[in-house]
Structure 1
Amino acid sequence: MTPAVSQVLADLAGRVARNAAPNIPAADRAGELGLSALLLGLAAEMWDGAAEILAQENADLRALLAAGAKVWGEDTRRRWLDALSQGRDESLRLSALQSANGELKVALIALHAELERRDDPEARALESQIWRALVAASDRRRLSGSPV
């Protein structure tokens, strides 16, 4: 799990406060400063693209749920997926995008579990789409210095 930028910044605030003490050995302080610089760079990179990443992922998830609503057999779940797929991101605030993303992922997990129980061509095709979307979401979150 990737920590949220806010968590990284809170950790860095603690590191800065601890390293301001005069009794910290120079080698320890240098190591902490190097780690802090690295984390600040990574946080800056993630912060810059976070809204775009979440908005794109939410759109992708809604498209998958719309497709899932067409193949789901049970009526209540089909209506649930359809309602979620019709939603839209009302705000570009990260907290709002993350909240919507969490709700959409819960529905995707339910859909994926249903598809794995089935053995028909529609289910297999949609399951493949889900896996491609998950790989694309992972690729979007890859940091520039990532070796993979």
Structure 2
Amino acid sequence: MKPDVAQVLADLAGRVARNAAPQIPAAQRAGELGLSAMLLGLAAEMWDGAAEILVRENAALRGLLASGARVSQDNARRRWLVELAGSRDGSLRLGALQSANAELRVALIALHAELERRDDPEAKDLEADIWRELVAGAERRRLSGSPV
């Protein structure tokens, strides 16, 4: 969801305002109108699934962090991971879900960096789980018209 729906809608508002001016050439206005229609369709699709995607992703990230707390060799990181793994989404507002997601991702990055430096099977297994979740997250966020 990057850019997020609010950014797309703000961009569209600017496009509408600029294209309302009478001196805008018809061809440019037509192009902007087509782009605006496409962006509105994408924004509608992103908006419809945003909360579900974030709730599912936050739960998956918390699960990975809980696993990370069990295998981390850094005591401070372990305490941080335990705290975040035990947190819950207190609101379904997109801003709150996105904020929680960002915090969880920071911890996941720190955990992942630790795991990449290690050669033990426990670390490699969890690293593989992290990569599987990152791929699954990309799939959840893929838009219906995406060629990939």
Same fold, judged at TM 0.5 (above): yes
Identity of aligned residues (%): 77
Matching of residue 105 in structure 1 with residue 105 in structure 2: yes
State the Cα distance separating 1:74 from its structure 2 match: 2.0
Q: What is the Cα deviation at residue 38 of structure 1?
A: 0.2
Q: State the TM-score, normalizing by the size of structure 2.
A: 0.98
Amino acid across the alignment from 1:30: A
Instruction: Determine the C-alpha separation between the residues in 2 that align with 1:23 and 1:120.
Output: 67
Shift of 1:23: 1.0
Shift of 1:46: 0.1
Structure 1 unaligned spans of 5+: none
1:1-148 paired onto structure 2 within 5 Å: 2-148=2-148
Deviation at 1:75, TM superposition (A): 1.6
1:58-106 Cα offsets, whole Å, 9 max, x none, are 0000000000000011222111101100000010000000000000000
Give the C-alpha shift of residue 24 in structure 1.
0.9
Q: For this pair of structures, how many residues does the alignment match?
A: 148
The superposition leaves residues 97-128 of structure 1 with CA deviations (integer Å, 9 ceiling, x where unpaired) of 00000000000000000000100000000000
- Equivalent-residue separation in structure 2 for 1:136 and 1:126 (angstroms): 15
1:20 positional shift: 0.6
Amino acid at match of 2:73: G
Unpaired runs of at least 5, structure 2: none
Q: Root-mean-square deviation (CA), in Å? A: 0.8
Structure 1: distance between partners of 2:132 and 2:114: 17
